[in-house]
């Protein structure tokens, strides 16, 4: 009988003849280390989106508030990652799932974020990126 070794840690395998790993931890480690690059990229993006959503929810427990942009940056908010946008007369809201923000400046020119929780009426809004903002 030919000896087989764990694909992750190279320990000798004992048991079933079709066994590839010595335990669940080695199986998990092996698959995590051998994931395709696109899966790793997707995981990083999803992690950033979840962090952004958590920060928006944390700073807006009542569903609507204004926060300095610098505070969000220092907290780790990434402005490049969002799930969708809504265009309103007041400007464009950038959402991470059910929380979003409108970039604003106060009277002193300080950049802030008007954070809002998604409302039911927003489900009926349609956005067509092929229609100019001037045609809406």
The answer to the question of residue 77 being in a domain is: yes
Give tens-digit pLDDT for 32-41: 889 899 998 9
| Residue with token string 């929780």 | 117
What distance in Å separates the CA atoms of residue 19 and residue 13, rounded to the nearest whole number?
7
For the chain, the domain total comes to 1
The answer to the question of residue 113 being in a domain is: yes
Give tens-digit pLDDT for 4-30: 999 999 999 999 989 999 999 999 999
The answer to the question of residue 17 being in a domain is: no
Which domain, by its residues, includes 49?
37-127
Give tens-digit pLDDT for 102-126: 999 999 999 999 999 998 888 776 7
The answer to the question of residue 100 being in a domain is: yes
What distance in Å separates the CA atoms of residue 67 and residue 112, rounded to the nearest whole number?
6
Cβ neighbourhood burial of 93 (10 Å; 0-12, 13-18, 19+): buried
Q: Give the dihedral of Cα atoms 72, 124, 45, 100; nearest 10 deg.
A: 0
**Is the distance from CB of 95 to CB of 88 less than 8 angstroms?**
no
The answer to the question of residue 132 being in a domain is: no
């Amino acid at each position: 009988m030919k000896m087989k070794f764990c694909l992750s840690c190279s320990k000798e395998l004992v048991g079933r003849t079709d066994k590839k790993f010595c335990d669940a931890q080695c199986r998990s480690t092996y698959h995590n280390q051998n994931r395709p690059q696109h899966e790793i990229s997707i995981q990083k993006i999803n992690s950033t989106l979840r962090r952004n959503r958590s920060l928006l929810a944390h700073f807006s427990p009542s569903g609507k508030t204004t926060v300095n942009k610098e505070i969000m940056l220092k907290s780790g908010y990434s402005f490049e990652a969002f799930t969708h946008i809504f265009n309103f007369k007041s400007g464009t809201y950038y959402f991470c799932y059910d929380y979003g923000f409108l970039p604003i400046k106060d009277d002193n020119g300080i950049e802030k974020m008007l954070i809002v929780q998604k409302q039911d009426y927003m489900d009926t809004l349609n956005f067509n990126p092929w229609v100019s903002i001037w045609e809406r």
